[in-house]
Amino acid sequence: MDQKVIVRFAPSPTGFLHLGSARTALFNWLAARRHGGSFLLRIEDTDKVRSEQRFLDEILDDLRWLGLDWDGEPIHQSRRFDVYRAKADALLAAGKAYREGEAVLYKVEPGRTIAFDDLIHGRIAVETENIKDQVLIKSDGSAAYNFSCVVDDADQGITHILRGDDHISNTPKQILFYEAFGLVPPRFGHMPLILGADGAKLSKRHGGVSVAEYKAEGFLPEALANYLILLGWTPPGEREILSLADAACLFEIDRMGSVQAKFDPAKLKWMNGEYIMKKPTAELTALLDAQLAADGYDVSRVPAETRARIVEPYKIRIKTLREFGPLADFFFRDDYAVEEEGRKKHLDSAETKALLGLLAARLETLSPFAQDALEAACRDLAGDKGIKPAAIIHPARLAVSGKTRGAGLFEIMELLGRETVVRRLKDASR
3-state secondary structure of 297: coil
- Helix segments in 251-370, DSSP class H: 265-278, 281-294, 304-314, 324-328, 340-346, 350-364
Return the H-helix or E-strand segment holding 248: helix 244-250
Task: Give the pLDDT confidence of 25-81 residue by residue, as tens digits.
Answer: 999 999 999 999 999 999 999 888 899 999 999 999 999 999 999 999 999 999 999
Could you tell me if 422 and 415 are in contact, meaning their C-beta atoms sit under 8 angstroms apart? no
Please name which of 175, 181, 116, 136 lies closest in space to residue 155, comparing C-alpha atoms: 181
Whole-model pTM: value is 0.92
pLDDT along the chain (430 residues), means of 10: 85 95 97 96 92 96 98 96 97 98 97 96 96 96 96 98 96 98 97 87 77 96 97 88 95 88 94 97 96 95 94 96 97 94 92 96 97 97 96 97 94 97 96
- Helix segments in 329-408, DSSP class H: 340-346, 350-364, 371-385, 390-401
| Dihedrals phi, psi of 36, to nearest 5 degrees | 65, 30
204 catalytic residue (yes or no): yes
Q: Does domain 340-429 have CATH number 1.10.10.350?
A: yes
Separation CA 142–CA 104 (nearest Å): 10
What integer pLDDT is reported at residue 51 of this predicted model?
92
Using alpha carbons only, give the angle 128, 134, 138 rounded to the nearest 5 degrees.
175
Q: Is 193 exposed, middle or buried (0-12, 13-18, 19+ CB in 10 A)?
A: middle
Separation CA 158–CA 155 (nearest Å): 8
What integer pLDDT is reported at residue 2 of this predicted model?
57
DSSP 9: E
Catalytic residue chosen out of the listed positions 87, 138, 201, 204: 204
Q: How many residues does the chain have?
A: 430
Separation CA 46–CA 52 (nearest Å): 11
What integer pLDDT is reported at residue 351 of this predicted model?
94
CB neighbour list of residue 78: distance below 8 Å, 6 or more residues apart: 43, 45, 46, 48, 51
